[in-house]
Chains A and B, each alone.
Chain A
Amino acid sequence: MTNGQFGFFGTDPWGIVIVKVLGIFALLVLLTLFTIWWERRVVSRMQNRIGPNRVGPFGLLQSLMDGFKLALKEEIVPKGVHLAVYWIAPIVSATMAFVAFAVIPFGPVVEMFGTYTPLQLTDFPVSVLYVLAIASIGIYGIVLAGWSSGSIYPLLGSLRSSAQMISYEIAMGLSFVAVFLYAGSMSTSEIVTAQQPVWFAVILLPSFLIYVTAMVGETNRAPFDLPEAEGELVGGFHTEYSSMKFALFFLAEYINMVTVSALATTLFLGGWQAPWPLSLWEGANTGYWPILWWLAKVQIFIFIFIWLRGTLPRLRYDQFMKFGWKVLIPVSIAWILIVATARVVRNEMTISTTQILLSGGIVIALLLVASWLLQARADRKADAKEQEFAEAQARPFDAMAGGYPVPPMPGQQAELTTRRATASTTTQEAIDG
């Protein structure tokens, strides 16, 4: 890639590239270990427990020990797996998780061993698309794991999770469009630069909310962790995996969490740029400091992930898919239309603030009227339902009218069911006999 715009990228000496690659690798592995511990501690606190606190200070080394244990465990390969694919699947999953991080900017141009280089492995004109592309290859790991296990639960789990990831990837991709429109670029470093005065999370709030929802679905996390619905599917796609291969899936899942959080930071929260009170300090956005701001922002998202897991119950699968296809996607498309129209109006027409406010006011008024009408209709429906309920309540209630195993409905008549009849006759026979 030799592109005039991206002068700093693609010109690093080999040594720097290797340092950056190793740095990202180490950071991701450490973040994974930390996130697992953090998740366990936070969830414990939410559930009035203490959580891991034995290994190392505050139990920080717990996940490292768990990792060792997992790696040393006996590996069980079930009969009837498609061996080659069974091997490739976890590798694809974990590799893609790492690779996606190549375009995430951690900071501005800094001096590293005497050369000036951005704190980002690489960047090119379509790097956000690159993240999407790598994520879609990562899904292969899951699908193949489910299929190659040669067992029905993993297969169903993998179908679920890939259907889920593909569906939510659409909403996710659509939420990027508004950002592209405002940033005028699809490269991560330029998007960060474009958020100089205001973050996109502020001006493109709907996009941000859609992205945050989609990112939880995309990573298969609670409350959207249907692929691992234990009651229905055992462990999901990795049921038949053990030891190191299972560890790879686990690693991939947590790295993906970090990746989507990092992407959210980059696209909506100004990337590595210092937030407001800090940005008053001149040096906040220079040198290696931005890595700290970046890490803090990513940790906020990871905390949200954990918070959701500690708080919300799992959705039903069909409701979840309905939400993705019938709510998130249409809403994002409508929002993109609004944003694009606004851009065109601002670029092409000379339009005064009064006119903008006036038309905005009219639109809001129309929306209010529409919502009032809808609300009135919903109220009428609710009233009708209430009335029906009241009528039902008014019917005579006979507590002995049946009611096994739940109490009888209001108005239910006592009738001798076959079950009762047989029960009483057998009792009689038993007593007579």
Chain B
Amino acid sequence: MTFVEANTGEAVVFWICAILSVAGAIGLITSRKAVHSALWMALTMINLAVLYIANSAPFLGMVQIIVYTGAVMMLFLFVLMVVGVDASDSLIETIKGQRWAAIFLGLTLTVVLVWGIGSALAGVPAVGLEAANREDGGNVQGIAHLIFTDYLIVFEVTSALLITAAMGAMVLAHREHWQPKPTQAELSQARFLGAGHPGNLPGPGTFARHNAVDTPGLLPDGTPAEVSIPGALKARGDVQPVDIEDVHAIEEADSL
């Protein structure tokens, strides 16, 4: 490739971003952690966006960042974090020799692509987007012009794709309820009208002599509250008796 027409600034941008984006791409496939891969990919995308901007395609560059880095990769990260696909990949091959075959075919493809693209680019001068951008008075206007004239049909048909995608996501992922979901009010009514205990179980109480879980709390009148003991302890018979002397003492104190 020739950089005869590029000024120093562009060359500097190119070499920084090119190296970073290739590094990101290599990091993407060599990382063991899925989240790291996603981050490397984000790095690649941001650097590509900078390259687009440096090549007089600012709209494409910005949209690349907003859509791919900001939305698509973020969704990836979301899924990776929520689902917790965090473990390293299993390196056991299910098909024997698959890895070597894959590496071989991948290298072959690389060689063919480099040969094909390289041979075609030799001696092709860089034209740039200057002329194309000037035609309609700016990059954004130029894109708008193409989208709404020459590529109008393609643009409109893409909406069918988007509708399908949105509805497909709804159909596959939106869990409907075959009975109405209880509202907060209904849940609360059910809690209070039901037979169970509506609120927190009683604590040790003001007159308590113990706050261990196996000792019943004392109600305001000094009686032990059985509900304050966990069911498991009751079933094991681990309930400590309340020192009845204390209760009597309280009653006496009350009567004075």
Chain A residues within 8 Å of B138, by CB: 3, 5, 125
A406 to B74, CA, bound (A): 46
Cβ contact within 8 Å between A139 and B58: no
Please, which residues of chain A bring their CB within 8 A of the CB of B224? 426, 430
Question: Which residues on A sit within 8 Å (CB–CB) of B65?
Answer: 133, 136-137
CA distance A147 to B227 in the complex (A): 41
User: Taking the complex as formed, is A336 at the interface, i.e. its CB lies under 8 A from any CB of chain B?
Assistant: no
Q: Is B62 an interface residue (CB 8 A)?
A: yes
* B-contact bits for A401-415, CB 8 A (1 contact / 0 none): 000111001001000
Stretch of A16-24, A62-70, A417-425 with 4 or more beta carbons under 8 angstroms from chain B: A417-425
Q: A residues within 8 A CB of B192?
A: 406, 409
Interface residues of B in 59-79 (CB under 8 A from A): 59, 62-63, 65-66, 69-71, 74, 77-78
CA–CA, A409 and B191, complex, Å: 13
Instruction: Flag if A166 contacts B71 (CB, 8 Å).
Output: yes
Contact: A129 with B56, CB < 8 Å?
no
Instruction: Check A136/B59 contact, CB under 8 A, given A155-B81, A423-B226.
Output: no
Q: Is A368 an interface residue (CB 8 A)?
A: no
Q: How far is the CA of A406 from the CA of B188 in the complex (A)?
A: 12
Cα A1 to Cα B140 in complex, Å, equals 14
Q: Are A430 and B62 interface neighbours, CB within 8 A? A: no
Q: Give the residues in chain A near B59, CB-CB below 8 Å.
A: 125-126, 129
Check: B82 CB closer than 8 A to any chain A CB. yes
Q: Assuming the A-B contacts A133-B65, A139-B70, are A3 and B133 also in contact, with contact meaning beta carbons closer than 8 angstroms in the complex?
A: yes
What's the minimum C-beta distance from B240 to chain A, rounded to whole angstroms?
Answer: 14
**Pair A419/B53 contact, Cβ less than 8 Å:** no
Min distance, Cβ A120 to any Cβ of chain B, angstroms:
16
The yes or no answer to B35 lying at the interface (CB within 8 A) is yes
Give the residue name and chain of the A residue nearest to B73 (CB).
A140
Among the stretches B18-26, B147-155, B193-201, the one at the interface with A is B193-201
Chain A residues 1 to 57 lying within 8 A of chain B, measured CB to CB, are: 1-5
* Band of interface residues on B: 35 or more
Residues of B within 8 A of A115 (CB): none
A125 in contact with B140 (CB, 8 Å): yes
B247 contacts partner chain A, Cβ-Cβ < 8 Å:
yes
Question: Number of contacts between A and B (CB, 8 Å)?
Answer: 107
1/0 contact trace for A119-140 toward B, CB 8 Å? 0000011100110110111011
Q: How far is the CB of A126 from chain B (nearest CB, A)?
A: 5
User: B223: CB under 8 A from chain A?
Assistant: yes
Contact yes or no, A137 B140, CB < 8 A: no
Does chain B have a CB within 8 A of A85? yes
Residue in chain A with minimal CB distance to B7: A2
**Chain B 186-229: CB-based contact to A (< 8 A → 1; otherwise 0):** 00000011010111000000000000000000010101111100
**A186 close to B (CB within 8 Å):** yes
- Cβ of A430 and Cβ of B244 under 8 Å apart? yes
What are the residues of chain B within 8 A of A4 when measuring CB–CB? 134
- Distance from A306 Cβ to chain B, minimum over Cβ atoms (Å): 28
Asked if A136 contacts B71 (CB within 8 A), the reply is: yes
Asked whether B139 is an interface residue with its Cβ less than 8 Å from the other chain, the reply is yes
B39 within 8 A of A: yes
Flag if A419 contacts B227 (CB, 8 Å). Answer: yes
With beta carbons under 8 angstroms apart, the residue of A5, A126, A418 that contacts B195 is A418
Q: Which residues between 86 and 145 of chain A lie within 8 Å of chain B, taking CB atoms?
A: 124-126, 129-130, 132-133, 135-137, 139-140, 143-144
Q: Are A130 and B199 in contact (CB under 8 A)?
A: no
Q: Taking the nearest CB of chain A, how far is it from the CB of B199, in angstroms? A: 5
| A279 at interface by CB-CB < 8 Å | no
Q: Is the CB of A124 within 8 A of B58?
A: yes
With A405-B199, A430-B247 in contact, is A129–B74 under 8 Å at CB?
A: no
Q: A169 to B199, alpha carbons, bound, how many Å?
A: 41
A387: CB under 8 A from chain B? no
CB distance from B220 to the nearest CB of A (A): 12
**Contact, CB under 8 Å: B81 / A159:** yes
Q: Contacts A1-B53, A4-B134; is A426 near B223 (CB within 8 Å)?
A: yes
- Residues from chain A with a CB closer than 8 A to the CB of B227 are 419, 422
Closest residue of chain B to A427 (Cβ to Cβ) is B223
Q: How far is the CA of A159 from the CA of B82 in the complex (A)?
A: 8
Contacts of B137 in A (CB 8 A): 5
Contact of B46 among A3, A137, A169 (CB under 8 A): A137
A147 smallest CB distance to B (angstroms)? 5
Q: Does A219 contact B (CB under 8 A)?
A: no
Nearest-CB residue, chain A, relative to B134: A4
Flag whether B48 is at the interface (Cβ < 8 A): no
Taking the closest CB of chain A, its distance from the CB of B232, in whole angstroms, is 17
9 additional A-B pairs beyond A129-B62, A139-B74, A426-B224, beta carbons within 8 Å, are: A3-B139, A85-B39, A125-B138, A132-B62, A136-B66, A406-B192, A422-B227, A426-B223, A426-B226
A-B CB contact pairs (8 Å), 12 listed: A2-B56, A3-B56, A125-B140, A133-B70, A136-B65, A137-B46, A139-B74, A163-B78, A186-B140, A409-B192, A426-B226, A430-B223
Which 6 pairs of residues, A with B, have the shortest CB-CB distance?
Answer: A136-B70, A133-B65, A129-B62, A427-B223, A126-B58, A126-B62
- Chain B residues with a Cβ under 8 A of chain A: 35-36, 39, 42, 46, 49, 53, 56, 58-59, 62-63, 65-66, 69-71, 74, 77-78, 81-82, 130, 133-134, 137-140, 192-193, 195, 197-199, 219, 221, 223-227, 242, 244, 247
